[in-house]
Structure 1
């Protein structure tokens, strides 16, 4: 028991996503209350995840397990990592399951959208596409981008991305040529009352910018909007990850993208997660 107490004291819920952990914990506690259950036994946890199995994909089940494991250790000093039947259940559910990866765009598709799509309805999305591809940006990074981080040098934009991951540094990239003109057109439509430290991306419709921040879910859906406008198959597979994945794929074959980075872009295969990770080396000054 002393060892569990020691471990629980060492558990710290993530600062940024702690509310998501608490939500998973609250859902479990509500389920227990509704079913008049007081125990935290392995059979109880197994029954709970059997109930979740009808609602979530195997990958989501593992995510929920990880969050609940941390919370139960933090709040109740209960270590469910020792529940072998539960982990075996989750492993069985994962067998044969293949997660759908975000699809990526070709350079011809992107150029077609940027050139042909109507500025009256899609100008802000064009700018998000340009920033997302040139800077290999996550939707969170586009959402967090401030106006003060976009420097206009009259024919070139220098964009500073404050990295949302603590283990990576900030990075910069530049935008010039016709892409600069498109971004400049959007920037000139920003309300004059917008302060310099306000968010960069403001709501846009019918050819006008409005003084309200674009929501993070809007960024996540922009890939799908672009795919629908291009009449591509399965547009729902162009998720919030597609800009970053497209950037990595196109970097060597699309000169404007290669020339835009003032930092050295490196890609490596993370042996722990098997996922592509993008990291930027420090800018040489």
Structure 2
């Protein structure tokens, strides 16, 4: 069962980046992201009500939900969607895989938890890998400066996500109900995004092409609701540290899909960059026990 949950989570998280790319077009980014989390929030509320598992939240719960909305369900995805206008979706996923490293840096900055030497080594390898990846893209794009705009947006989005992880961790330490809080957070995120769209004079209408609508439904239901629940189930079964290996593997899914559907072109620099990012994450997390057992059995 753990293997199934792990595989489903990795595939869903890895494939959402391509679905995001399919939403870029006529519909403003802020409207697309608003509809994504509006639909996801409604779906989660429906599930919770059907299970009779929708408790009344305190004012503190709603404050935390609002913070989660700003970090996890609005501003971060505004950056990711905007970055996808300038980058292949797979590269966006690789930058996002640096989130655990940013988590540790935030804990160092905010909670004074000094990182270990192992972490510093892994972080340097990961960031060096990103430099190689984007150096390859820069050289292949005839010195197109928009690549750096895409990288900057992706890094900002990842940092928002990292801050959201800290907010979520503190909320769980206070024994806040996770799924109801998430449902409200997604709803608040949608309201915030639609308010921005209204201020900017955008219509709430979306593209009705089959590709856009299918991508929206996939991101809202599969990516945001199913993927979130499978990951939480995995955390409950094997722990957060082991479940974090998902962030090491899903960029490979994203880059594979980007290669097939977006024509992403590999070079020796991009291949080396991916290997360094994966090696850096493995250095931070350690090598999984099943891999260690396999190595010891076959050496």
Q: TM-score range by the shorter chain?
A: under 0.3
The structure with the largest helix share of the pair is 2
Q: Which has a greater percent of strand?
A: 1
TM-score, scaled to structure 1: 0.24
Larger Rg computed on CA atoms: 1
- TM-score, normalised with respect to structure 2: 0.24
